[in-house]
């Protein structure tokens, strides 16, 4: 049985951290979209999306991640962390595995975003 979906956010100085648990799909993507509003509106801030609790992701979830990455990559920075097997397969199949910065831990991702 999958974990209930939960998305939460925190701020580590100039970097927003969004943590996702459960299944990120069409029925839960709107919750992530709401959490992305502040980081996407805050010019110059970075964003880390922690997927260590994410058990499944579909194309809707990937689309939100790509939108955030494209928006922030040149500005404040963007990274993923805690990518599990299923999410890694989706990133690989879509060709995003090599494009989006991915780190094993949250601390590494925050450091990577800060440069």
pLDDT per position in the chain (115 positions), as tens? 667 899 999 998 899 999 999 999 999 999 999 999 999 998 789 999 999 999 999 999 999 999 999 998 777 799 999 999 999 999 999 999 899 999 999 999 999 999 8
pLDDT score at 1: 67
pLDDT score at 82: 96
Q: Return the CATH fold of 6-114.
A: Transcription Regulator spoIIAA (3.30.750)
Between strands 102-103 and 78-81, the pairing is parallel
The residue to which tokens 């975003």 are assigned: 113
Strand 46-57: give its sheet, edge to edge: 6-12, 15-24, 46-57, 78-81, 102-103
Between strands 78-81 and 15-24, the pairing is unpaired
E strands, the chain, in order: 6-12, 15-24, 46-57, 78-81, 102-103
pTM listed for this prediction = 0.94
pLDDT score at 43: 78
pLDDT score at 73: 77
> Which distant-in-sequence residues (6+ apart) come within 8 Å of 17 by Cβ?
9, 10, 11, 47, 48, 49, 50, 106, 110
């Amino acid at each position: 049985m999958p974990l209930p979906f939960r998305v939460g956010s925190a701020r580590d100085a100039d970097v927003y951290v969004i943590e996702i648990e459960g299944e990120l799909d069409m029925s839960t993507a709107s919750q992530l979209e709401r959490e992305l509003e502040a980081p996407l509106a805050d010019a110059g801030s970075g964003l880390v999306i922690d997927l260590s609790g994410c058990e499944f992701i579909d194309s809707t979830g990937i689309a939100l991640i790509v939108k955030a990455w494209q928006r922030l990559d040149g500005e404040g920075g963007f990274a993923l962390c805690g990518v599990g097997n299923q999410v890694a397969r989706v990133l690989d199949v879509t060709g995003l595995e090599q494009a989006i910065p991915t780190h094993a831990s949250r601390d590494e991702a925050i450091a990577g975003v800060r440069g």
